[in-house]
Amino acid sequence: MDFEFNESQLAVRDAVQRICDRFPDEYWLEKDNKHEFPHDFARAFADAGFLGIVVPEEYGGSGLGMTEAAIMMQTIAESGACLAGCTSIHVNVFVPGSILKYGTPEQRQRWIPRLMTLEDRSAFGVTEPDAGVDTTHNKVRAEWDPQRGKYIVSGQKIWMSTAQIANKVMLLVRTTPIEQCKRPIDGLSLFYTDLNRDFAEIRPIAKMGRHAVDSNSVFFDGMPVPKEDLIGEEGKGLYHLFDSLNPERLLVAVECVGMGRAALRRASAYAQERIVFNRPIGMNQAVQHPLAANWCKLEAANLMAYKAASLYDSGKPAGIEANAAKWLAAEAGFEACEQAILTHGGMGYAQEYHVERYLREVQVLRITPITGPLILSHIAERVLGLPKSY
């Protein structure tokens, strides 16, 4: 059992860090305050070829594993770019999973190279206001119109990141009414298609943090979608989507660890520099112990996340570990960011020390892409054999 990164993985980390060094905390604070998308940051990663890190070489990617993708995303988060930096390229990294596994050769050639170069920017349309995490009860419909030879999409999606700048969208929609399906999980289909603004009204959501990357409600009103944009089998979209969900959760986990480490780094530095009663506050155990506990929890979450990545890259089931890592890391990351503010005292509330931005960005990952209580219910049922509670 080896807990060290190999030479290739260390090279990925170092190359990513060199790019991140060009975008310091002040850059991210400015983007956050101005609500500006970090186009130059995303472009830097596209130009360096990192958006194809998990894409096979035959499609122009690097053909590396989810472990390397996790190293990349964690390094971005830990640099101080936090969630804004990660989500500026997040979808382009994990969306190809479902396309690679279930898409046709023609679809892969048509879509994946353009995602890697940012010729296409994709939003991710799954969550709906009335369903939330109960995805099987999504209501957005895609009805086949034989006269037009296209599916017609209508309904509302919510919390669609990057929809303001996206020209494509990965959509999970219901093609068969739930009452006509044997199981609620059936009848949902997955599409990757143009985000046609003639038929989609995109409204930004004012939110607590991550102002540099937009979140939106999107109202589809008869948006036509060609059959060629259907991924895999009609009615099996949620099954196909699962190949993106576990990678998303483990990437979120390492991002939470990265944000927690960034906060811990700043808190530790401040605790050494801040003098009160003629001594650095870092000499006080009341300051030391919470920060040390943060380190322990972050490292434990990190081990689970890379265990999940290793299992995934080995072709083994990784769902339990990916979900556990997400829960552990979200809690540990939040606690570290909160403690960083408390360590800074009043200055932790000031933007110039950046830790308040870290806290605002890490908070949402306790909620999305799946809530902590739902993860714990899943583990209780699948690992401990307890009866299903929902």
CATH of residue 174's domain is 2.40.110.10
Q: Copy the structure tokens of residue 241.
A: 């989507």
1 assigned to some structural domain: no
Confidence of residue 133 (pLDDT cuts 50, 70, 90): confident
End-to-end CA distance of the chain: 37
388 assigned to some structural domain: no
Mean pLDDT, residues 103-112: 95
Asked if pLDDT for residue 30 goes beyond 80, the answer is yes
Domain that includes residue 151, residue range: 122-235
387 assigned to some structural domain: no
pLDDT of res. 69 = 96
Are residues 363 and 249 part of one domain?
yes
Are residues 365 and 246 part of one domain?
yes
Mean pLDDT, residues 160-179: 95
**Residue closest to 208 by CA, chosen among 386, 357, 70:** 357
Domain count for the chain: 3
Average pLDDT value over all residues in the chain:
95
Q: Copy the structure tokens of residue 57.
A: 């070489």
CATH value at residue 247: 1.20.140.10
Mean pLDDT, residues 120-132: 90
Confidence of residue 3 (pLDDT cuts 50, 70, 90): confident
87 assigned to some structural domain: yes
Asked if pLDDT for residue 378 goes beyond 80, the answer is yes
Confidence of residue 154 (pLDDT cuts 50, 70, 90): very high
345 assigned to some structural domain: yes
Mean pLDDT, residues 288-299: 98
- What is d(CA 156, CA 259) in angstroms, rounded to the nearest whole number? 32
CATH value at residue 45: 1.10.540.10
Q: How far is CA 37 from CA 32, 93, 336, in A?
A: 9, 18, 26
Strand segments, DSSP code E, in 46-149 are 122-125, 141-145
| The dihedral formed by the CA atoms of 12, 13, 19 and 24, expressed in degrees to the nearest 10 | 170
268 assigned to some structural domain: yes
Q: How far is CA 125 from CA 35, 129, 144, 150, 347, in A?
A: 22, 12, 19, 19, 39
Are residues 270 and 245 part of one domain?
yes
Confidence of residue 306 (pLDDT cuts 50, 70, 90): very high
Are residues 185 and 88 part of one domain?
no
Are residues 264 and 227 part of one domain?
no
pLDDT of res. 52 = 93
Question: What is the tens place of the pLDDT at every residue in 181-222?
Answer: 999 899 999 999 999 999 999 999 999 999 999 999 999 999
Tell me if residue 220 falls in helix, strand or coil.
strand
